[in-house]
Amino acid sequence: MSRNALLPTTERLLTHRLAVEQSRFRVPSLIAAVVRDGELAWWGARGRMSEGAEPGRATADTQYRIGSITKTMVGVVVLRLRDEGKLDLSDPLERHVPGAPMGNRTIAQLLSHTAGVRAESPGEWWERTEGGDWAQLAEAMDGEATVLRAGSRHHYSNVGYAALGELIARLRGRSWFEAVRAEVLDPLGMDRTTTSPVAPHATGWAVHPWADVVLPEPAHDHGAMGAAGQLWSTVDDLVRWTAFLGGNTGSVLSKDTWEEMREPAIVADADEWTDGHGLGVQLRRHKGRRLIGHGGAMPGFIASVWADPADRTGVLFLSNTTYGGIRGRLDLGMLDILAEHEPSLPEEWLPAVSADPALLALTGTWYWGSASIALHLRTDGRLELKTLAHGGRTSRFRPAGADAWTGLDGYYAGERMRVVRGPDGAADHLELASYIFTREPYPPTAPIPGGVDPGGWRGR
């Protein structure tokens, strides 16, 4: 038995939830899966994937359209380009795609749907029609590519991802999909993720709202708009993608960039902050979980992928219906079943293989003014500020040279921490942003900004 196998009772609950959703929303076929610790832990299917005398059930190798889940893979290639120094996320698009109709909007804004770019392409409903190339799309927008002030709010834009697809093509010298395949799909072993269906695949259906009959939906090559939602994939492939979103990034993306990818860039519902967007990914807060993933919808298909990195768990489903109401119900419902009936065990703690004595000497209590902060040396060789009784700001830090560290999250994300040593070579104090951290609260000999009263600490 796999170490990630679920209990029979949990499997039964998941199968029941799958069956209820498929029947209630009249979904022609529905397949779902649970991922744990980067591996497939369970999958189940209901319904029939195609027409005919013996229409067959879906398997983990059956292709479905995944719609906007495509955007997450496009986003990863853009971030790889940034990591290689070929662009900066603050670059305006026109620096790399001259003449782009939304050229004054930044790459980061396009990734996070904060560029204020129109939601859909001009002309006919692009998801049901053949698409043209980038030049045709750009010309068709005719000065109407943007509808909102950049950065003003979350405004989902399929057109924005068409622009990112063209950006990739310009910088890689090949199509956005060829770049995605070479840099993302092949390294992760996702060889059943393609731009057009390859058997076995499901047929896309529209279900009549008032009768139990179905109508086949068209599937075309969407040209430049393909980067917004062209791809087909399988459960087997999306298990790998769910694991990637959960932090198993392998050689495709550095952990630091993955962390950056899932930082909230904008929230879609500011009053409650349930849904938001990072760099190429959707974010959701659900019952204490912080999820990363994306939904997808194309004519005849609905899909969803969510990962919970903290719990090392993920869920996904694929279906062949145009509308169904299952997104946000089945996927999150499966997470709820797991949390209630089979919560993940925390990772086993193991001591570090070795520890640098110079780093050990940095650990323990430091003081920012009179607030006590603990510096902890992690198993991965990074340092972490932890608050103690008096509160304060927490952050993790990665090495950035001799006695230098860069903040990874929290208030000090991107900030430099420097260890300042005394004549004897021992750490005297830490410099972080404009702050000084010392081993004692306000020692008179430390370079505390503003100085320390020469009278020292006193009573009444």
CATH number assigned to the domain comprising residue 402: 2.40.128
> Do both 417 and 279 map to the same domain?
no
Question: What is the reported pLDDT for 326?
Answer: 86
Q: Are 252 and 260 in contact (CB under 8 A)?
A: no
> Do both 295 and 372 map to the same domain?
no
CA–CA separation, 280 vs 30, rounded Å? 26
CA–CA separation, 117 vs 131, rounded Å? 19
Question: What is the reported pLDDT for 52?
Answer: 57
Please indicate, yes or no, if residue 263 is contained in any of the structural domains.
Answer: yes
Please indicate, yes or no, if residue 42 is contained in any of the structural domains.
Answer: no
Domain span at residue 365 reads: 357-438
Kindly give the interhelix angle for 158-172 and 69-83, rounded to the nearest 10 degrees.
Answer: 40
> Do both 273 and 364 map to the same domain?
no
Question: What is the reported pLDDT for 327?
Answer: 83
Scored b (16 or more CB within 10 A) or e, 276-310 reads bbbbbbbbbebeebebbbbbbbbbbbbbbbbbbbe
DSSP secondary structure letters along 104-153: TSBHHHHHTT-S-B-SS-SSS-GGGS----HHHHHHHHTT-SB-S-TTSS
Question: What is the reported pLDDT for 380?
Answer: 87
Please indicate, yes or no, if residue 395 is contained in any of the structural domains.
Answer: yes
Question: What is the reported pLDDT for 1?
Answer: 43
Q: How far apart are the first and last CA of the chain?
A: 69
Question: What is the reported pLDDT for 45?
Answer: 96
> Do both 106 and 187 map to the same domain?
yes
> Do both 67 and 140 map to the same domain?
yes
Please indicate, yes or no, if residue 9 is contained in any of the structural domains.
Answer: no
Please indicate, yes or no, if residue 409 is contained in any of the structural domains.
Answer: yes
Question: What is the reported pLDDT for 54?
Answer: 55
What are the CA-CA distances from residue 128 to residues 71, 125, 222, 229, 259 (Å)?
Answer: 18, 6, 9, 12, 35
- Dihedral, CA atoms, 389, 391, 396, 399, nearest 10 degrees? -80
Q: Are 61 and 200 in contact (CB under 8 A)?
A: yes
Please indicate, yes or no, if residue 363 is contained in any of the structural domains.
Answer: yes
Question: What is the reported pLDDT for 3?
Answer: 64
Question: What is the reported pLDDT for 2?
Answer: 55
Asked if the bond preceding 200 is cis, omega within 30° of 0, the reply is yes
> Do both 369 and 255 map to the same domain?
no
Can you give 337-348 as a three-state secondary structure string?
Answer: HHHHHCCCCCCC
Considering 299, 314, 346, which residue would you say is the last residue of a domain?
299
> Do both 150 and 230 map to the same domain?
yes
> Do both 362 and 280 map to the same domain?
no
Q: Look up the CATH number of the domain holding residue 191.
A: 3.40.710.10
Considering 251, 277, 299, which residue would you say is the last residue of a domain?
299
In total, how many domains does the chain have? 2
For 107, list phi and psi in degrees, rounded to 5: -65, -40
> Do both 239 and 385 map to the same domain?
no
Please indicate, yes or no, if residue 118 is contained in any of the structural domains.
Answer: yes
Distant-in-sequence, close-in-space partners of 61: CB < 8 Å, separation ≥ 6: 192, 200, 234, 235, 236
- Averaged pLDDT in 10-residue chunks for the chain of 460 residues: 80 97 95 96 90 74 97 98 98 98 97 96 90 95 93 96 98 98 98 96 94 93 96 98 97 95 90 91 95 96 97 96 86 96 89 88 92 92 88 88 93 94 94 94 90 88
> Do both 241 and 380 map to the same domain?
no
| Closest listed residue to residue 154, CA positions, set 103, 204, 115 | 115
Please indicate, yes or no, if residue 78 is contained in any of the structural domains.
Answer: yes
Considering 299, 326, 344, which residue would you say is the last residue of a domain?
299
> Do both 251 and 152 map to the same domain?
yes
Q: Are 305 and 245 in contact (CB under 8 A)?
A: yes
> Do both 177 and 59 map to the same domain?
yes
